[in-house]
Structure 1
Amino acid sequence: MTITDAPPVTRPVRRRRIVWTVLLWLSLVPAAIWLPARTFGWDAGLWVQFLAFTPYVAVWTLVPAVVALIARRWAAAAVAVLIAFGFGAAVVPRLVTDRDRGPSTGVELRVMTANMLFGGADANEIVRLVRENQVDVLAVQEFTEGGQAALKAAGLEAILPFNQLAPEPGASGSGLYSRHDFAEQAAKRNDGGFQQAHAAVQVPGAGTIYVESVHPLAPSHPDVLPGWSADQRAQLPAEGGLPKILLGDFNATLDHRLMRDLIATGYRDAADAVGKGWIGTWGPYDSDPIPPVTIDHVLVDERIGVKDVQVHDVKDSDHRAVIAWVTVPAA
């Protein structure tokens, strides 16, 4: 009887190593495409919708980086770490309070935005948030006559007696309610067909500021992307004129180039400034299986400071309300 040598195992092991290496490199491809597309502002087709989920992709990039390091695939690890670093540079600052949050002295103003989902959001809940947080200016979107009546019945006009209202059926209505009187007021219809109520609010001790309830068209289908782009580009830039606050359902996140372009005109995103830029405002809040994304914003002119931001659920709405404490320079 003879003892034979054990069967060679090097070939199967080598084959498995090759397969795992190929899979590792393939796992880097989506993020390697996503990062430059996000960075340079490619916004074609349904890609606009995917961009809203960039923070989730940023977190996922850590997985192949760690796997590559553990497996000692040094080339793949180097690429994976570079990709993760690029995503981190794009999204991590939203979790960090900015050193420059604008003026810290002046007159405090509390502003709130709420999308009412075809006017059906719980008006009592909205009025409770206004009352408990001593909100001075409320912007509403998807504002209908039914929603207006419900807010009035809940006592909103006793708290915020001044208003500029443009209620309409469906999602196109808009409104502003204020504790302080208006110097000027109107509503304009954007290219997407939505109203945007706006007013020059006379803040006691701080002069007049411009406030607008923003609601660009949603990028829900490739056919409406031109309207979405036009609405984003048409938002009022910060420079010149009165200090400004734009707040509402922007249907865009900080990962959309057009949103970043608007901010670059002289705004700061209030939630981003106080390290709360990852808090979701739309998605699963009416039981839809959608991860939370941040498309409701308060943008403040750089002449206005940001103290804090809170986000609250609103019953019967697919959006959450955003409240910002801001500081308006004293007159």
Structure 2
Amino acid sequence: MRFVHGFISVVLWIIAIPLLVVAAARALPFDDVVPLPHLVAFTPWATLVTLPLLIVALFSRRWLLSLLLTAALAGYVYWTAPFFVPPDTSTAADPADPGTVRVMTINALYGRADAESVVHLVESQHVEVLSVQELTPAFTEALTDAGLDELLTHSLTVPVADSPAGSGLWSSTPLREEDQLDGTSFAMPSALVAAGGTDVRVTVVHPHPPMPTDITTWRTELVELTEQVHADDTPQILAGDFNATYDHAGFRDLLGSRFWDATREWGAGPAVTWPEGSQVPPLFALDHVVVERDMPVSDVVTMQVPGTDHRALVATVVVE
């Protein structure tokens, strides 16, 4: 009997330790040290496991473990619950309203995404601004052949062959004051887009991923992006593969007191977008539409696109 009791304790602790470690990593105000960026990404999933484990620990009278799990669960709920709280006005905005912008972002995986599927989503979702990452010359041509230029007649593209560094921006209205963010490994083009009577700067976002051997580049590029967007007083929308979830401190630093993550603001739960198209279901919300805090959002959804390991993310942004 004592052996069984001890065995159960060992099993509970083996399961609990990773959950406690993730909670401790999430509580830190920084994430630029290996393996913190990779641990905190599991925060939403750790929340789901912690509750049943706490119940088992309580019934088993493992009081120290129960206390630690209670503290971890309190943190998880505090960090995750806002994703499930809809805004005061949760009525979907009308994409046809001139003061709204329907935005879509998709990582094309070295240009391997199915171009016809992307164009179909643009048409069926009434997309007015499209952000594409990992854009190649061949994929740019495929999008044109599939009819994208007939739906979104204005574009700013920086395609790069055989590389994830390319990006592109398409719009149904003219793009003005075109620009390119400095100090990044991947192209991040931006331009002004008119929404009703307001000019909004839309930026295609794609910082370097947090590779275990090169966390510094990831963190540096997030900081560079943060500094540049906060230095611009123009109303902004950022759309792309941020290679970070809301649980990453670097992403929250980028939001600051100025921006919202559209998915979190819509309150329908985390929009997991990666990895897609494999035996492993999407686990992480790496793709985001980020908006000014005075821009309500609605109808934030993810969509499957064959050929890429990311889901597309679509959101309606009310600019005015």
Normalised to the residue count of structure 2, the TM-score between the two structures is: 0.90
Q: Which runs of 5+ in 1 are unaligned?
A: 1-12
Aligned residues: 311
The one of 287, 302, 309 aligned to 1:311 = 302
Match of 2:84 in 1: 95
2:180 counterpart of 1:187: yes
**Aligned mates of 2:114, 2:21 — CA distance in 1:** 42
Alignment of 1:1-331 (within 5 A): 13-25=1-13, 27-40=15-28, 41-99=30-88, 107-169=99-161, 170-191=163-184, 193-203=185-195, 205-220=196-211, 222-235=212-225, 236-238=228-230, 241-283=233-275, 285-287=276-278, 289=280, 291-329=282-320
Gap change, CA 1:35 and 1:216, over 3 Å in 2: same
Amino acid at match of 1:160: L
Q: Which moved more, 1:163-172 or 1:24-33?
A: 24-33
Amino acid at match of 1:164: L
**Aligned mates of 2:14, 2:274 — CA distance in 1:** 31
Percent sequence identity over aligned pairs: 33
Deviations 1:209-267 (A, max 9, x none): 010000000112x3321110011111244475111000100000011100011111411
Q: Which moved more, 1:74-83 or 1:208-217?
A: 74-83
Q: Which runs of 5+ in 2 are unaligned?
A: none
Q: Whose Rg is larger?
A: 1
Amino acid at match of 1:33: V
Normalised to the residue count of structure 1, the TM-score between the two structures is: 0.87
**Aligned mates of 2:85, 2:199 — CA distance in 1:** 31
Deviations 1:163-207 (A, max 9, x none): 11111111100110001112211233543x20011001122x222
Partner SS state of residue 299, structure 1: strand
**Aligned mates of 1:177, 1:26 — CA distance in 2:** 49
Q: CA RMSD in A?
A: 2.2
C-alpha contact 2:19 2:50 (8 A) present in aligned 1: yes
Deviations 1:267-312 (A, max 9, x none): 10111111234231011x2325465211000000113211220110
Gap change, CA 1:21 and 1:118, over 3 Å in 2: closer
Partner SS state of residue 158, structure 1: helix
Partner SS state of residue 300, structure 2: strand
**Aligned mates of 1:16, 1:131 — CA distance in 2:** 61
CA displacement at 1:27 relative to structure 2: 3.9
Deviations 1:48-91 (A, max 9, x none): 22322221112111132011122233443233222112111111
Partner SS state of residue 299, structure 2: strand
CA displacement at 1:106 relative to structure 2: 7.7
Partner SS state of residue 181, structure 2: strand
Match of 1:9 in 2: none
C-alpha contact 1:166 1:187 (8 A) present in aligned 2: no
CA displacement at 1:25 relative to structure 2: 4.4
Gap change, CA 1:223 and 1:325, over 3 Å in 2: same
Amino acid at match of 1:176: L
**Aligned mates of 1:107, 1:127 — CA distance in 2:** 23
**Aligned mates of 2:314, 2:219 — CA distance in 1:** 26
Match of 1:4 in 2: none
C-alpha contact 1:164 1:187 (8 A) present in aligned 2: no
**Aligned mates of 1:286, 1:73 — CA distance in 2:** 41
Partner SS state of residue 61, structure 1: helix
Gap change, CA 1:141 and 1:288, over 3 Å in 2: farther
